[in-house]
Structure 1
Amino acid sequence: MKVTNVRVYDLKESVIACRNAMRLVPPEYTDEEFEKSLERAKKLCKASIGKVRCHANFRTGIRVSFDIEYPNYISSEMQRYHWFDIVTSSSRMHRLVQMDFDKCCNKWVTERSKQQMKELIADYNANQCEDNFMKVLSNCPQGIMMFMRISTNYEQLRTIYLQRKNHKLPCWRSFCKWIETLPYSHELIICDQ
């Protein structure tokens, strides 16, 4: 999976807010307050390991948006769990017969599969009936690369990281490596420091 156009929002504000339970007045969102709150945030994240997530619920306020390119076989896993809000995505339904199968598939799609798709698309273009379209759609390789814009948060990324960092599929392991590159990921998502 390839991740681009990453934006992280409200990290500073959410970390500062992690101390709200102990405050009598609303906080000031200063760099000094962030540094004080970061120490508390790290402790809350470690306290949440193996317990209910409420100790580090402030992570839900650290929002992350990004574009992701992924093999089609991952989309059912991405959509099954409430890890992501999908802003918008590419569409097999609308673009499949226009795709270049020599360029849009991952390295595991065989030449034979690509050739079959080219033949099915040629049949569809010669006779654009429902039966021919359904043959194209139904035989599309799972290794076709799709893309989407996603919004999520640090709490969901922690869940993904814990569940997928040693996953059988290399794209999930790659995605977890990307999670490690986010600001304060080791302190707030991975909780190893």
Structure 2
Amino acid sequence: MIKLERFEVMNMNNAIRGARNPLNSWARMDSYFDEEGKFVFGPNDLDLAKRLCKAGSDHRKFIRQIFVTVDITAPLYWWKEYDTYKVGTVANSTSTMHKIHSKPFEMSDFSTDHMTDATLEMMQKNIDFLEEIRTQFIETKDKVLWYSMIQLLPESYNQMRTCTLNYENLVGIYYSRKGHKLAEWHTFCDWVKELPYFEELFIDNE
């Protein structure tokens, strides 16, 4: 299970202006913001952007200045793989260390969408046991019990992080993970494809 919510794409106008700096071709800029404040590439700017992207990472430096922020809720096993892409990204997460005991454990706190009935039954037993430990910890404040919760917590536990990336990060992730066996990566890559101009710049432009 993965959810991508409250996302925003920023700084496209400044990025394409910077892409024109090497040839001082600012007079050819024709991008604009529509009545809703949405950035729209003009034909000249889109043609330049596509040519630079097709020329490779050395030439498409401007996409490193197109920023995306998004709230991602995903299981810990997915976050371990995502952390491979930490270069040039920032994330603030909900705190397992500080807040693990703040609410009862429930099945909805975990990614269980690919579990069998037998696995779900075992998962429920684990959740019940975690909840038992959590209740005891609240009563006693025994740090051993807190450690027990942390160390017993399954990798299917869902964590939410507010992430900031750029289009260069996302291109790398998309082509590395679009064929991955984890369903979460397919959902993530489908979301990336829908970002403004991503498909025109990188997929149709291959």
TM interval, shorter chain, is: 0.7 to 0.9
Which structure 2 residue ranges, 5 or more long, are not aligned?
33-40
2:83 to 79, 82, 90: 79
Greater shift, 66-75 or 100-109, is seen at 100-109
Quote how far apart the aligned CAs of 1:135 are.
1.4
Q: Secondary structure, in 3 states, of the residue corresponding to 2:110?
A: coil
Residues 32-72 of structure 1: per-residue CA shift (max 9 Å, x gap): 78431210110111111xxxx11111000111111111111
Q: Which residue of 2 aligns with 1:118?
A: 128
* TM-score (norm: length of structure 1): 0.85
Check conservation: 2:77, 2:156, Cα contact below 8 A: yes
For the residues of structure 2 that align with 1:13 and 1:27, how far apart are their CA atoms?
Answer: 14
Residue 116 of structure 1, CA deviation:
2.2
> For 1:27 and 1:142, how far apart are their aligned partners in 2?
53
Residue identity in the other structure for 2:181? K
User: Displacement of 1:21 after TM fit?
Assistant: 1.0
Task: Find the residue that maps to 2:124 and give its secondary structure.
Answer: helix
Letter in 1 for 2:184: C
Residue type matched to 1:10 in 2?
Answer: N
- Residue of structure 1 aligned with 2:168, choices 147, 151, 155: 155
User: How many angstroms does 1:111 deviate by?
Assistant: 3.1
Q: Which residue of the partner structure matches residue 111 of structure 2?
A: 106
Q: Is the 8 A contact 2:54 2:202 kept in 1?
A: no
| Structure 1 gaps, min length 5 | none
**2:21 aligned with 1:20, yes or no?**
yes
In structure 2, distance between residues paired with 1:76 and 1:181: 24
In structure 2, the partner of 1:146 is: 159
Alignment of 1:12-91 (within 5 A): 12-23=13-24, 30-31=30-31, 34-48=42-56, 53-81=57-85, 82=87, 84-86=89-91, 88-91=92-95
Q: Which secondary structure state, in structure 2, belongs to the residue aligned with residue 55 of structure 1?
A: coil
Q: How many residue pairs align between the two structures?
A: 187
Of all paired residues, the percent bearing the same amino acid is 26
Relative to structure 1, the CA distance from residue 20 to residue 84 in structure 2 (aligned partners, 3 Å threshold; closer, same or farther) is same
Do 1:3 and 1:69's aligned partners in 2 also have CA atoms closer than 8 Å?
A: yes
Instruction: Using structure 2 for the length normalisation, give the TM-score.
Output: 0.80
AA of the residue aligned to 2:166: N
Whether the 8 Å contact between 2:104 and 2:131 is mirrored in structure 1 is no
Give the superposition deviation at 1:124. Answer: 4.3
Give me the CA root mean square deviation. 2.3
